[in-house]
Amino acid sequence: MHTSIFLDKSTMYTLFIKEIKSFLSSLVGYIVMGVFLILIGLFLWIFPFSDNILNRGFADINGLFNFAPIVFLLLIPAITMRSFAEETKSGTIELLLTYPISDFQIIMSKFLASIVLLIISLLPTLIYFLTVYMLGYPTGNIDQGAMWGSYMGLIFLGAAFASIGIFVSIMTDNQIISFLFSVLICFIAWRGFDFIYSFNIFGSFGYVIKTLGISHHYNSISRGVVDTRDLVYFLSVIVLFLYLAALRLKSRNW
């Protein structure tokens, strides 16, 4: 029994590392992360938006947390689109299903790899924080509590998008289709409920509809207030789509 558990963990780790190496060994991976950082940099320092750091005159990087979800709509599906779609197209999905681990462990390996890639993409943005930290008057005059809360919100947001992307990737063997449908579903989950709420036709129940959207809970965490309701919401979304992904993967065994 102990040998079986060790083998399961070893296989999961191998698959986890394989997924990360596969993404980082491709030119597409670096292009995707590079585009993410360039876009965020342009929004923060160049484009004349209200969140432009130089125009605001305030020591904060709120623009990063306002624009990152928009960029995530492209970044996360780009990370997850090949996780299962490529395996299916190349025929290696059958080999993958023979691994001495459960379907859910296979999915978790790829999901956790996506989260690590997301964090790798976010790490360089700390340069923006350090820059604003030094520009503050006096130096260091920045609300670090709210900032770290916002980073936590970004990671939860990215994890929710990644779970959706993993689920969609299992549904097709075409990476482009996986990418496009992931973007669509992520956008609906993020802003769709706010759109319905804006019509103001459901009365007091409209607010309940709004709370079903990802943006409501992301905005809550981004204010630096960690509410257990927001954490439960994100965990529920992640578990739901990973569970649906596991059901779909299991159906391939029949």
Higher-confidence residue of 49 and 151: namely: 151
89, pLDDT greater than 90: no
The pLDDT confidence band at residue 54, using thresholds 50, 70 and 90, is: low
Domain boundaries, the chain: 2-251
Return the ∠ at Cα 93 (arms to 87 and 99), rounded to 5°: 125
The torsion region of residue 137 among left (phi > 0), alpha (psi -120 to 50) and beta comes to: beta
- The residue among 233, 239, 234, 248 whose CA lies nearest residue 83 is 248
Q: What's the mean pLDDT in 145-166?
A: 89
Average pLDDT of the chain, as a whole number: 82
Residue 3 has pLDDT above 60, yes or no: no
Q: Across 100-104, 216-220, 225-229, which has the greatest mean pLDDT?
A: 216-220
Of the ranges 11-25, 57-71, 73-87, 138-152, which is most confident?
73-87
The CA distance from 169 to 106, in Å, is 13
**Who has greater pLDDT, 11 or 140?**
11
- Looking at residue 205, its pLDDT comes to 75
Question: Is the confidence at residue 2, as pLDDT, over 50?
Answer: no
Residue 1 has pLDDT above 60, yes or no: no
Q: What pLDDT is attached to residue 5? A: 45
pLDDT reported for residue 223: 74
pLDDT at 169: 93
- Given a cut of 90, is residue 112 above it in pLDDT? yes
Look up the pTM and report it. 0.87
Amino acid at 100: P
pLDDT, position 7: 45
* Residue environment code for 191-203, b if the CB has 16+ CB neighbours within 10 A, otherwise e: bbbbebbeeeeee
Alpha-carbon distance of 40 to 43, in angstroms, equals 5
